């Protein structure tokens, strides 16, 4: 068997959680392969809303296994909180949750360094979620990190101390920030007990043996392709490979075992944090999208920057990920707009281009195409042909330009508000 994957095609927050939760019924296991608690995957069903940060979005489906892969960075404190919150809903899942030994741990001092580093950058700050993601991946590639499997080692505490000292020396280079390290350490060591009790696996064997046994696996990407450490709007990116390729190293799966690639995009575009966003709308138009889409970060609550869909950007990430099918989310947010725009080209060096340049500066002039809005409710639409004609025309236009079929159309946050094209 091959492993299918869901990836975000923009700057994150495309609605991956909902699509993973919907598709999960076709799979035996959902695997997170990168990122950490900077992610906030929102799921809404039975009138309730859940936000998952580290636990895969397959957790709500009975019998489905969920793996936190080696490419993920884990903060034991937030993981324990997430477990407790899920348990209060009455859900039983600990027998279905697995953690890879090789996943790296976020220490309290990683969060301290994240905050201190951001504070030192002033106006040039990345807009990090301050969850310690960057410093943890730095320690991973710098070969200093602590991994889940290390928590059982007799010298774990002394290795922790050595790394902590190193971090404190580094932190001395930055402006002092308000951070109660002693309190955070107490919580961190207490939460390790919860981490130790989870089911730990050699993720690479676990995944490959499941595929050999004919199990159907779905990899769940976090963040979005434009936040990829290699191909995103560097340096305003996260610290992992968020694209399809990341699942190979983040789970230990060979490229030839990658199956279907589902790419998710909103019907418009958002970004949280700093960095280039060519199609960003300022003033009233941006505010209207933010309000209609309730665009506030699921992890940090920060207002998201909003703009029109950017087709050169999407073509780029479709190429990077090898997308087979698209999922278009939050289409209902555009229901009240009298007209809809899509950026078709960037105007660079006197020419229109649909390629993403090396430096995606803030104010690239864009060429837009305008479409009449459908100005109708989509709540009762169960099939694509039920959608207002103007919306159907818009969908065909997107498919033609992006050369990829739109398989899923999300018309609202709830689980059942999803049109699946046969
Ligand atoms: P970090 O990954 O917390 O260091 O944040 C780096 C950049 O990625 C910041 O601009 C964040 O706002 C953004 N970011 C990180 N995780 C997410 C996510 O899950 N959704 C959207 N943006 C994210």
Q: How much is the pLDDT for 297?
A: 84
Q: How far is the CA of 283 from the centre of ligand 1 (A)?
A: 23
Q: Is 226 touching ligand 1 by the criterion CB < 6 Å?
A: no
Helices (H), 93-244: 108-121, 133-141, 156-171, 181-197, 203-212
Q: Is 128 touching ligand 1 by the criterion CB < 6 Å?
A: yes
> Is 46 one of the catalytic residues?
no
Q: Is 238 touching ligand 1 by the criterion CB < 6 Å?
A: yes
Q: How far is the CA of 273 from the centre of ligand 1 (A)?
A: 7
Write out the H or E segment, with its range, that includes residue 46: none
Q: Is 38 touching ligand 1 by the criterion CB < 6 Å?
A: yes
Q: Is 240 touching ligand 1 by the criterion CB < 6 Å?
A: no
Q: What is the pLDDT of residues 89-98, one digit of tens each?
A: 999 999 999 9
Q: Is 217 touching ligand 1 by the criterion CB < 6 Å?
A: no
SS3 274: coil
Q: How far apart are CA 117 and CA 409, in angstroms?
A: 40
Q: How far is the CA of 411 from the centre of ligand 1 (A)?
A: 25
Q: Using CA positions, which residue lies closest to atom 4 of ligand 1?
A: 128
Q: How far apart are CA 180 and CA 201, in angstroms?
A: 33
Report residues of the chain scoring pLDDT below 70: none
Task: Give the count of beta carbons closer than 10 Å to the beta carbon of residue 359.
Answer: 8
> Is 41 one of the catalytic residues?
yes
Q: How much is the pLDDT for 73?
A: 98
Buried/exposed code over 221-240 (b: 16+ C-beta within 10 A; e: otherwise): bbbbbbbbbebbbeebbbbb
Q: Using CA positions, which residue lies closest to atom 10 of ligand 1?
A: 273
Q: Is 222 touching ligand 1 by the criterion CB < 6 Å?
A: yes
**Among 117, 238, 296, 304, which residue has the most ligand 1 atoms within 8 Å of its CB, making it the best to mutate?**
238
Q: How much is the pLDDT for 363?
A: 81
Atom from ligand 1 closest to the CA of residue 274: 10
Q: How much is the pLDDT for 76?
A: 98
Which among 4, 21, 28, 41 is annotated as catalytic? 41
Q: Is 227 touching ligand 1 by the criterion CB < 6 Å?
A: yes
SS3 113: helix
- Using alpha carbons only, give the angle 333, 334, 336 rounded to the nearest 5 degrees: 100
Contact of 242 with 35, CB cutoff 8 Å? yes
**Among 42, 272, 298, 302, which residue has the most ligand 1 atoms within 8 Å of its CB, making it the best to mutate?**
272
Q: Using CA positions, which residue lies closest to atom 17 of ligand 1?
A: 223
Q: How far apart are CA 105 and CA 160, in angstroms?
A: 10
Q: Using CA positions, which residue lies closest to atom 1 of ligand 1?
A: 128
Q: How much is the pLDDT for 408?
A: 97
Q: How much is the pLDDT for 11?
A: 97
User: Both tokens of residue 195?
Assistant: 């981490």
Q: Using CA positions, which residue lies closest to atom 21 of ligand 1?
A: 12
Q: How much is the pLDDT for 354?
A: 95
User: Both tokens of residue 89?
Assistant: 């809903």
Q: What is the pLDDT of residues 27-36, one digit of tens each?
A: 999 999 999 9
Q: Using CA positions, which residue lies closest to atom 8 of ligand 1?
A: 238
Beta strands (DSSP E) in 225-301 are 258-266, 269-271
Give me the chain's average pLDDT, please.
Answer: 95
Q: Using CA positions, which residue lies closest to atom 5 of ligand 1?
A: 128
């Amino acid at each position: 068997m091959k492993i299918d994957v869901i990836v975000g095609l923009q700057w994150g927050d495309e609605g991956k959680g909902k699509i993973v939760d919907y598709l999960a019924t076709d799979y035996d296991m959902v695997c997170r392969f990168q990122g950490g608690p900077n992610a906030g995957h929102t799921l809404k069903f039975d009138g309730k809303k859940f936000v998952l940060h580290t636990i895969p979005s397959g957790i709500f489906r009975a019998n489905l296994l969920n793996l936190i892969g080696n490419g993920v960075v884990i903060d034991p404190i937030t993981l324990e909180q997430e477990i407790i919150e899920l348990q209060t809903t009455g859900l039983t899942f600990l027998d279905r949750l697995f953690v890879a030994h090789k996943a790296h741990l976020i220490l309290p001092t990683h969060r301290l360094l994240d905050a201190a580093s951001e504070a030192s950058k002033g106006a040039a700050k990345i807009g990090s979620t301050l969850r310690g993601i960057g410093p943890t991946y730095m320690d991973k590639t710098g070969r200093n990190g602590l991994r889940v499997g290390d928590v059982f080692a007799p010298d774990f505490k002394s290795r922790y101390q050595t790394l902590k000292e190193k971090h404190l020396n580094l932190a001395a280079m930055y402006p002092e920030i308000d951070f109660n390290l002693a309190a955070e350490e107490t919580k961190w060591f207490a939460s390790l007990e919860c981490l130790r009790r989870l089911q730990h696996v050699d993720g690479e064997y676990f995944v490959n043996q499941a595929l050999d046994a004919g199990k159907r696996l779905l990899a769940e990407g976090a963040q979005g392709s434009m936040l990829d450490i290699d191909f995103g709007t560097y340096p305003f990116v996260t610290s992992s490979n968020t694209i399809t390729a990341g699942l190979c190293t983040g789970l230990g799966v060979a490229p030839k075992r990658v199956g279907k690639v589902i790419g998710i995009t909103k019907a418009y575009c958002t970004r949280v944090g700093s960095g280039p966003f060519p199609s960003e709308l300022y003033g009233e138009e941006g505010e209207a999208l933010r309000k209609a889409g309730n665009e506030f970060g699921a992890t940090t609550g920060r207002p998201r920057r909003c703009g029109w869909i950017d087709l050169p950007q999407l073509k780029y990430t479709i190429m990077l990920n090898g997308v087979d099918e698209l999922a278009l989310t939050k289409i209902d947010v555009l229901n009240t707009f009298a007209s809809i725009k899509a950026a078709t080209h960037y105007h660079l060096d006197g020419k229109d281009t649909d390629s993403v340049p090396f430096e995606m500066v803030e104010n690239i002039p864009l060429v837009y195409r305008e479409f009449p809005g459908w100005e109708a409710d989509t709540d009762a639409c169960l099939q694509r042909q039920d959608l207002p004609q103007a919306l159907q025309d818009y969908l065909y236009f997107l498919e033609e330009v992006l050369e990829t079929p739109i398989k899923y159309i999300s018309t609202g946050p709830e689980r059942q508000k999803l049109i699946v094209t046969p």
